[in-house]
Amino acid sequence: MGESHDPVDVFREEAHELLQQFEESVVGLGDEPDNREFLDAAFRALHTIKGSGSMFDLTDLTEFAHDMETAFAALRDSGQSAPRRVVDLALEAVDHLERLIDGGASDPDRQNHAALVVDELRHLTGVDEEPASAAPPRTGAGDSPEVTTIRGTYVPSASTFLVGTNPISLISELGSLGALELSGSVAAIPGWAAFDPQACYLRWEFAVTGQVAPQDVGDVFMFIDADSRVELEGDDTDSATGRDSGAAIDSDAAITDGDSADRGTSDPATEGVADAPGSGSGGAATNPRGTGAQSIKVRTDRLDRMVNLVGEMVSLQAQITLRAEQLGDRLMAAHAEQLERLVREARGLSMDMHMVPVDRLFAPFRRHVRALAAELGREVSLEVSGTDTELDRNVVEQLRDPLLHIVRNAIDHGIEPPDRREAAGKRRAGHLRLLADYSGAMVRIRVSDDGAGLNRERIRARAVERGIVAEGDHLTEDEILDLIFAPGFSTAETATAVSGRGVGMDVVRRNVEALSGAVTVRSTPGRGSTVELRIPLTLAIVEGLLAQVGDQLFLIKLEYIRECIDGRAAVRGGRREMIDFRGEVVPTLDLADFFGIAGDRDDHRPIIVIEAGDQRVGLVVDSLLGNHQSVVKSLGRLLAGLEGVSGAVFLSDGTPGLMLDIERVVRRAIRRAS
């Protein structure tokens, strides 16, 4: 039985992506009211959602999106700045659009509120009052009210149906502009032997009469695929589109009746990107021309399956290599070496395909920050950088909640109210920064604010009050800051809807460590705080150094390893064991003691110097077995809480091993040493 490919499901996925683009553009418009790029992007997203909804007869969605589109078109054509109230209303409309896309039941109260939002939005943008179902002709800025006739030719590409375009939907939208005269041609349809049922062989000539401008026609064909052609008589491409929309509208192309070959190809200099079925009105939104490569959308479950299969191939290849060595078969060893190269390349490719820009994680926070600041009476400017940094898609999904907790705390506890900031000589608006960058094989995500900073005395007093530490315990400044991650800890006197219940930062640390990552905090009183997350690029396949302690095997990720040294360099002193590593005193942690592994050992055991952030620790092991590449498996419920271990790996002969949670091991070693 094949997998389900319901076009409606594909449409909803595409529509949610477009809705996110709309939301991001609107939030950007709130920060830069005169930015025409944000305004155009918001309009295009609404236009595509409306067209997509009409293809699936989603009347409520189509009508609501149409009214929103009309308002944004009026704002765009007026040339005025976007009023703040328009931005607020548009963000309220996002929630209603999301429900309509998902096909949720219509709640009367929500419907009434949505109608009020649209009415106010249309009023603020100068749109005449009209029924929601009406679809009046659109008029661009500076268009004459006189009746005109726009003539043109529309030639879909041969692959039009395959990229989700419905030409009839476009023709219907042309009819909404005015009186439409239409003539179609079937001259390009080939004989039965050459006929492809998935190809489009049609073309249309049209004339639209009414209060219409070339820009209006260009908007209809804004999202056709790159190989389709639209020619408007007497107008060049700029006048047809009205702006650079990235759509494939080419009035200079020579259109020959019956020439299907020309319609199915494009100039190499204008290669486009074909998207999957189910995209917006009249087709898939395409990447700008000139990319030189085509792309398609792939179901995420298939990507996950592919990564898992490549992981199994890695294990199988290791077994084959081991068997070739055991048999002493040179030919088999040569084949195994070639297989290893191919598997390594497949692994890298599958990992690349599973990566997404971190902007996918950061984007929703542009709206969250705006809403939280308004709710808490703060003024906050958000700076986002490093959005091109890439992470495993699954990692991104699991970081949403931890990052939301951190941002909430930064606004609620960190950034002061405007009057208090002014009294302290600061700008009224606090500055919040989201930054992502690479750090070796890890990705660092930092959330920084310029607020009041963390009060260490207050943190310590609250920790003593709650029994987290004793009154006489000696704690370093970093250890005091680390107390905010204790379960149930909060410095807030009263709980609010945003924070103060002590269930935030401990959840952040737990979730981040579940990803084999780490979270740290730095703070300067009066100047602000920074919370830093260190996350591995991917979780599926790792490469590390195998070490043995007793009968137990441990895998240590290569990106954490600084150097391996002879254990005779260790200097013992009392209960603490330290080594001199290139002039630096580094604490050590004996894995046999840490995990309670019995056995007779001497002082000549190797030490692996590992580095996590700016902290180094020497891991004492019994022996080193060499590099190993493996799929990481979950420990399961029985061993899920095992301290210092984040997963299981298997050798080529099936022998199991444990993957060390280096961030946690380092933290434990530093705590012991201090």
Exposed, middle or buried by CB within 10 Å (0-12, 13-18, 19+), for 672? middle
SS (H, E, C) 349-365: HHHHHCEEECHHHHCCH
> How far is Cα 106 from Cα 641, in angstroms, rounded to an integer?
45
Residue 30 falls inside a structural domain: yes
The answer, as to whether pTM is greater than 0.75, is no
What's the average model confidence in pLDDT over 600-624?
86
Q: Using the predicted structure, report yes or no on whether residue 384 has a pLDDT greater than 80.
A: yes
Judge if 386 and 498 occupy the same domain.
Answer: yes
What's the average model confidence in pLDDT over 72-95?
86
Cβ proximity of 408 and 357 under 8 Å: no
Half-sphere exposure at residue 206, Cβ-oriented, CA atoms within 13 angstroms: 25
> How far is Cα 30 from Cα 338, in angstroms, rounded to an integer?
56
Q: Using the predicted structure, report yes or no on whether residue 136 has a pLDDT greater than 50.
A: no
Of 160-164, 587-591, 606-610, 659-663, the least confident = 160-164
Residue 293's pLDDT band, with cuts at 50, 70 and 90, is: low
pLDDT confidence of residue 570: 59
Cβ proximity of 177 and 135 under 8 Å: no
Residue 420's pLDDT band, with cuts at 50, 70 and 90, is: very high
Which residue has better confidence, 348 or 385? 385
Judge if 482 and 558 occupy the same domain.
Answer: no
Q: Using the predicted structure, report yes or no on whether residue 603 has a pLDDT greater than 80.
A: no
State pLDDT tens for residues 140-178: 444 445 788 899 999 998 888 876 677 887 888 888 788
- Which percentage of the chain shows pLDDT scores above 70? 80
What's the average model confidence in pLDDT over 273-295?
39
Which tokens hold the place of 225?
A: 């695929």
Q: CA gyration radius for the chain?
A: 31
Of 111-115, 145-149, 327-331, 391-395, the least confident = 145-149
Residue 617 falls inside a structural domain: yes
- The number of residues in the chain equals 674
> How far is Cα 597 from Cα 267, in angstroms, rounded to an integer?
68
State pLDDT tens for residues 592-601: 988 888 887 7
Indicate the residue among 252, 270, 288 that finishes a domain: 270
pLDDT confidence of residue 1: 42
Which tokens hold the place of 426?
A: 């600061």
Per-residue DSSP letter, 484: G
Of 332-346, 355-369, 537-551, the least confident = 537-551
State pLDDT tens for residues 114-134: 888 888 888 888 775 444 444
What's the average model confidence in pLDDT over 86-91?
88
Residues 6+ apart with CB under 8 A from 507: 401, 402, 405
Judge if 317 and 258 occupy the same domain.
Answer: no
Which tokens hold the place of 515?
A: 């990803």
- Closest by CA to 380, choosing from 408, 352, 402, is 408
> How far is Cα 382 from Cα 362, in angstroms, rounded to an integer?
11
The label of the residue with tokens 């500076």 reads 142
Q: Which domain holds residue 47?
A: 7-124
Residue 296 falls inside a structural domain: no
In 3-state terms, what secondary structure has residue 1? Answer: coil
Q: Using the predicted structure, report yes or no on whether residue 249 has a pLDDT greater than 80.
A: no
- What secondary structure does DSSP assign to 545-571, as a single string? EEEEETTEEEEEEGGGEEEEE-GGGEE
> How far is Cα 555 from Cα 546, in angstroms, rounded to an integer?
5
Q: Using the predicted structure, report yes or no on whether residue 539 has a pLDDT greater than 70.
A: no
SS (H, E, C) 149-211: EEEEEEECCCCCHHHCCCHHHHHHHHHCCCEEEEEEECCCCCCHHHCCCCCCCCEEEEEEEEC
Residue 405 falls inside a structural domain: yes
Mean pLDDT for the chain overall: 78
Which tokens hold the place of 60?
A: 């409520």
Judge if 511 and 571 occupy the same domain.
Answer: no
Q: Using the predicted structure, report yes or no on whether residue 253 has a pLDDT greater than 70.
A: no
Judge if 246 and 171 occupy the same domain.
Answer: yes
Judge if 37 and 175 occupy the same domain.
Answer: no
Judge if 382 and 530 occupy the same domain.
Answer: yes
Q: Using the predicted structure, report yes or no on whether residue 84 has a pLDDT greater than 90.
A: no
Residue 299 falls inside a structural domain: no
- CATH number of the structural domain spanning residue 63: 1.20.120.160
Judge if 531 and 559 occupy the same domain.
Answer: no
Judge if 555 and 652 occupy the same domain.
Answer: yes
- Number of domains the chain contains: 5
Judge if 231 and 313 occupy the same domain.
Answer: no
Which residue has better confidence, 286 or 579? 579
> How far is Cα 97 from Cα 16, in angstroms, rounded to an integer?
9
Judge if 90 and 158 occupy the same domain.
Answer: no
State pLDDT tens for residues 365-375: 888 898 889 88
What's the average model confidence in pLDDT over 556-573?
76
Residues 6+ apart with CB under 8 A from 314: 343, 347, 541, 629, 630, 631
